[in-house]
Amino acid sequence: MSSTTTMSLCAICSRLEIALRKNICTSCEQTILHNENYQHQLDDASSNTNVDSVSNEEKIDDCDSNIDISNINCKIMNTSSSEISSSNTCANCGKEGSDVTNTCNKCNSVMYCNAACKKKHRKKHKKECERRAAELHDEKLFKQPPQLEDDCPICFLRIPTLCTGRTYMNCCGKVICRGCTHAFQSRVTKEKDHKCPFCRTPTPTSYEEIIKRYEKRAAIDDKRAIYNMGVFYSKGLYGLPQNRAKAVKLWHRAGDLGCAEALNNLGNSYKIGYGNVERDETRTRHYYELSAMMGDAGARYNLGVLEGQACNEERAVKHLMIAVKDGNSASLAIIKEMYKGGFATKDDYAKALRSYQAYLDEIRSDQRDEAAAADDDCKYYESVF
């Protein structure tokens, strides 16, 4: 690739690097870490220790999803038995038989009769092993991930990716679309009648009550509650002191429980050295990949950015295309720019447009449209046309 081409691709990705460094939410374009409004939020929290009516519909902040998870027991490469050589022959000594069952732990493609043969053959097998392991890793990495959230438990439609399109209920732990919460609350005439649309629990009336509910949910290992508590500590919300180290610790715990957003936040934290962690590009990519494979579109977008900055346009397009299918409008915008710059094909851009439209068709409803028209905080998708 020529230097001119390289410069052009880096130029396309330059604004993405700025987005990563400022930790802008890939779903709703809001700054999360090092937010300029932190002090205002702290002032508001300290001056309003009690409120007359505080909704228990805490927005899920997709933006703050990037920190470390060292205790995650997640193997990137888990291959099926069909990928293991069908002939039980030791790759080192050539012995055959049913007792040749010691498989290479990294690539799962060769077998040995014992640990001694495996160790003796290691140097000869290393290059092929690493190549095959990389192939297996990419197969899993670029597979379309499962849907991040279950469908809305009330309307049974897919939960929107945009963080303002859904809300976490700190009473029952359900994630409900904003269309359903708006429709329910619009029928309430008295303040005292405000309740959870799902379990009908009255909304909390003070910051203290909000935190108590989250702590209660966290005590039963609710990964979403633990993740949100980390967000509160990272920003100093609801009367809590700003404690980034504690936020990272909570995100680690949520990540251990399988919270994709927490893993993405760990990746962001290692990207910029947030909280009590040092900058580490390897861990940044590791946590982004874990999060992306669990279905977090923001983490998938971040991987596309990293590959674009490394001038790996083919891998970048693959990541961004997966993110578009999950409703990430920023990824569609980048594919458009890459198409203009000659780094993505016309078919790539057309496929991305169709994927995003298919996502919109899946999440749209009259009830959600009414909610979005009534309140910007209920917006559930972004128009990119």
> Which residues, given as ranges, of the chain have pLDDT below 70?
1-87, 189-192, 385
Q: How far is Cα 356 from Cα 365, in angstroms, rounded to an integer?
A: 16
Read off the CATH number of the domain in which 303 is found: 1.25.40
| Neighbour count for residue 1 (Cβ, 10 Å) | 9
Q: Is 337 a member of any domain? A: yes
Q: Is 110 a member of any domain? A: no
Length of the chain: 385
Q: Is 283 a member of any domain? A: yes
Residue whose C-alpha is closest to residue 205's, from 15, 40, 365, 51: 51
Q: Is 123 a member of any domain? A: no
Residue listed under structure tokens 């190549």: 131
> Which parts of the chain fold into alpha helices (H)?
3-21, 38-47, 115-141, 178-186, 207-219, 223-235, 244-256, 260-272, 281-293, 297-309, 313-325, 329-340, 346-363, 366-374
Give the per-residue pLDDT at 84.
40
| Neighbour count for residue 253 (Cβ, 10 Å) | 20
Give the per-residue pLDDT at 13.
63
Give the per-residue pLDDT at 142.
93
Backbone angles phi, psi at 383, to 5 degrees: -80, 135
Q: How far is Cα 149 from Cα 138, in angstroms, rounded to an integer?
A: 24
DSSP 160: P
With b for 16 or more beta-carbon neighbours within 10 A and e for fewer, the 315-337 pattern comes to bbbbbbbbbbbbbbbbbbbbbbb
Domain count, the chain: 1
With b for 16 or more beta-carbon neighbours within 10 A and e for fewer, the 365-385 pattern comes to bebbeebbeeeeebbbbbeee
Give the per-residue pLDDT at 122.
85
CB 382 within 8 A of CB 164: no
Q: Is 325 a member of any domain? A: yes
Give the per-residue pLDDT at 32.
35
Query: Which pTM was predicted?
Result: 0.76
Give the per-residue pLDDT at 1.
46
Q: Is 243 a member of any domain? A: yes
Give the per-residue pLDDT at 374.
92
Q: Is 35 a member of any domain? A: yes
Q: Is 101 a member of any domain? A: no
Strands 166-169 and 102-103, bridge-based pairing: unpaired
Domain range for residue 21? 3-74+145-378
Q: Is 69 helix (H, G, I), strand (E, B) or coil?
A: coil
